[in-house]
Amino acid sequence: MSAAPFAWTPTPEQAASSRLRGFLDRLGVAGMAELDRRLRDGGDDALEWFWSAALEDLGLEWRVPPSRMHDPSAGLPWTRWWPGGRLNLVDNALARHVRDAPDRTAIIHESEDGGVREWSFADLADEVWRAAGGLRELGIGPGDAVGLCMPMSPECVAIFLACAQVGAVIAPLFSGYGAGAIASRLADCEARLLCVTDGFVRRGKPVDLLSIAVEAAAGIPSLRHLLVVRQLGASATPMRPPRDIGYAELLASQSPHQEVADTDADATFMLIYTSGTTGRPKGTVHVHGGFPVKATQDMAHCFDVRSSDRLLWYTDIGWMMGPWAICGALTLGATLVLYDGVPDHPGPDRLWSVVERHQVSVLGVAPTVVRSLMRHGDQPVRAHDLSSLRVLGSSGEPWNDEPWAWFLETVGGRRCPIVNYSGGTEVSGGILGGNLLTPLRPGAFAGPVPGMVADVLDQAGEPVRGEVGELAVRMPWPGMTRGFWKDPQRYLDTYWSRFPGVWVHGDWAEVDADGLWYIRGRSDDTIKIGGKRLGPAEVENALVGHPAVAEAAAIGVPDPVSGEALIAFAVLRAGIRDTAGLRLELMASVEAELGRALRPRAIEVVRELPHTRNAKVLRRVVRAVYLGIDPGDLSSLENPGAIEALAALSRGRA
């Protein structure tokens, strides 16, 4: 890969004052390359050295300190972390801040209708402790699974922390799920309680979540109660006591002082369900010494978050980044800003107005959100003072160059780094990430997140540079899932079966001549044309680089000659008309970028592409619907209307 100029370089002040620079100095390490070498070459001793220093740097409090950092005796896939250690998220994310800075703002929440609430750490503690008492009154204790299906709100955060406080297992669920998706996940973990809001507002219209929850709960024998937070008022579906319990009424009778469970570092903390192409959803198992620690460490060393920051990550509790934001921001003593709405309602400047109004300093979004907001032009951004921003974050999918540059220049004023971040639910955070030390190019990662020993491997399992290969991890880390719920073999088959002792993540990755890393798409999304492997992100980048295209997706379809043929889908910018000439022009753009052999067979123009709530384009769904085959699990789909447009294309091909 040719070395293009850097698009962002840290100032000496940004680098010198960063948390990562201070951490490396305390380690006695000159830079990230040296840290990577020491971890690769040092084996188990290097892991002990690094993670001992990381715990000290984060200042985590333990009820009982661990006897050592990790125990690999059961094999790499089942590595235990912090053996003998005992800790609870509530001690680190709440109690210590109440002790040291009770009046510091913990949460700022803005709803789509403009209502704003602000809670200090003392306010949050009062709510959490009462919520923990309410859970205990409902019979919830250590090991009991609790479903959490709510928009991002202060009550959502409070119940999340209250579950940790009593030792319950949190099962966060996407607030846009249908009844079937909720029911299948709650039945799988045998949940005893489902916490919901009666509903919420999207684009000015109420969404009746309680009716969906009631339908889901009907077929789950283990479920005893629905705990309902009222938000919609008179328009809400009526509650049905005694199974439906009012959250406010339950908390009113509780003491504000509740015992915190003395949880083992290896005790189950949370089950996050992910959707696969086939089979039931996977319940990824996370432990008290795993997910919260990894989230906090990544937030500190990649995103430079500190107690003076205000972090807004546009996400949902059902996606990994929702629990990640709660655990990391609050443990570091930062303010967690929650926006419960869509980013362009009632006007195209809504997200930017939220940033200005609440002085957000760390803003995280998916690239698709940026692409959608770009359609409105620069003026909605220019209308607001975004000088509070100092770090921009992104996760969920690969970037295209133009949206990345727009985010950097128009939103960040070229002052703020875009900390690109990629890993996943099973990782508890990032495998690759940016930081405030490393110069960046569009879409690039600085490299492995500190503590992650990552590599790019060819088909024989050998390291490669300057070409696309499989993203892999060679050594364990604290946030790695403790397997899939009730299905340990599926976990081994998914991540550990390709090469001995190596986690293969399922992403295509590449490292350039300067050591910057790139994600080129999911390896199961790979298109193979005439023996040539093609990552869909390369095609999509070429299309989005055209001024007429707002968003794109690329798939491979069966071809008797070349094995697969390339079909590309384009969402046009506002005001652009679909014509045969434009489609030919877009084909030519891809050909110019990738070569004649990889010219698309067709460009299909669609109104929208199917994506998840965290804005990840569902390419497997695009491909399946276009080919008229079963698309598999659609529970994570945010915009079902996109399916009909693709189905119409499929019918037109028939």
What pLDDT, in 10s, does the model give residues 153-176?
999 999 999 999 999 999 999 887
What does the domain layout of the chain look like in residue ranges? 12-89+297-522, 121-268, 523-653
Cα–Cα distance for residue pair 133/423, rounded to 1 Å? 35
Count the Cβ atoms, other than its own, within 10 Å of residue 311.
23
Handedness of CA 115, 118, 124, 127 (dihedral sign): negative
pLDDT at 368: 81
Give 640 or 379, the one with higher predicted confidence. 379
Mean pLDDT over 515-527 rounds to: 83
pLDDT score of 277 = 40
What would the pLDDT profile of 618-649 be if each residue is shown by its tens digit?
A: 888 898 898 888 887 777 787 888 888 788 88
Which tokens in the block code for residue 316? 């949902």
Contact 65, 85 (CB under 8 A): yes
Contacts of 610 (CB under 8 A, 6+ apart): 617, 618, 621, 622, 625, 637, 638, 639, 640, 642, 643, 646
For residue 52, name the pLDDT band (cuts at 50, 70, 90).
Answer: very high
pLDDT at residue number 615: 66
Tokens 């790979």 belong to which residue? 526
Q: Which pLDDT score, from 0 to 100, does residue 538 have?
A: 73
CATH 3.40.50.980 fits domain 121-268: yes
216 neighbors 186 (Cβ within 8 angstroms): yes
Instruction: Answer whether residue 23 shows pLDDT above 80.
Output: yes
Q: Hey, what CATH topology would domain 12-89+297-522 get?
A: Rossmann fold (3.40.50)
Going by pLDDT thresholds of 50, 70 and 90, the confidence category of residue 383 is: very high
Q: Which of 145-159, 201-215, 474-488 has the lowest mean pLDDT?
A: 201-215
- Give the separation between CA 274 and CA 282, rounded to whole angstroms: 5
Q: DSSP letters along 508-528, please?
A: EEEE-TTS-EEEEEEGGG-EE
The whole-angstrom separation of Cα 178 and Cα 164 is 26
Q: What is the per-residue pLDDT across 78-89, written as a single tens digit (0 to 9) for each?
A: 999 999 999 999
CATH 3.40.190.10 fits 523-653, yes or no: no
- The pLDDT of residue 533 is above 70: no
Q: Quote the CA–CA distance of 237 and 463 in Å, as a whole number.
A: 57
Q: With beta carbons less than 8 A apart as the criterion, state whether 240 and 228 touch.
A: no
pLDDT tens figures, 106-130:
999 999 999 999 999 999 999 999 9
pLDDT value at 145 more than 60 = yes
Q: What is the largest CA-CA distance in the chain?
A: 72
* pLDDT mean over 485-489: 94
CB neighbours of 123 closer than 8 A, spacing ≥ 6? 106
How many CA atoms lie less than 13 Å away from 342 in the CB half-sphere? 17
Please tell me the distance from the alpha carbon of residue 391 to that of residue 436, in angstroms, as a whole number: 9
Give the separation between CA 143 and CA 270, rounded to whole angstroms: 10
**Fold agreement (121-268, 523-653):** no
Q: Which of left, alpha, beta for 466 (phi over 0: left; psi -120 to 50: alpha)? A: left
**The tokens of 320 are what?**
């990994």
Take residue 118 and report the two structure tokens written for it: 């602000």
CB burial readout 70-89, b (16+ within 10 A) else e: bbbeeebbbbbbbbebbbbb
Say whether pLDDT at 613 is over 70.
Answer: no
Res 279 pLDDT > 80? no
First to last CA, the chain: 41
Using 50, 70 and 90 to split pLDDT, how confident is the model at 1? Answer: very low
pLDDT at 431 over 60: yes
Burial class (CB in 10 A: 0-12, 13-18, 19+), 423: buried
The overall average pLDDT reported for the chain is: 92
SS3 assignment, position 77: helix
Q: Are 388 and 359 in contact (CB under 8 A)?
A: yes
Task: Using pLDDT thresholds of 50, 70 and 90, give the confidence band for residue 31.
Answer: very high
**Distant-in-sequence, close-in-space partners of 191: CB < 8 Å, separation ≥ 6:** 145, 146, 147, 171, 220, 222, 223
d(CA 247, CA 197): 9
pLDDT above 80 for 614? no
Phi, psi for 120 (deg, rounded to 5)? -80, 175
Provide the percentage of residues in the chain whose pLDDT is more than 70.
96
589 or 264, higher pLDDT: 264
* Torsions phi, psi for 602 (to 5 deg): -155, 150
Length of the chain as a residue count: 654
d(CA 135, CA 271): 18
What sections of 190-246 are H helices per DSSP? 209-217
Look up residue 39 and give its two tokens.
Answer: 């971890």
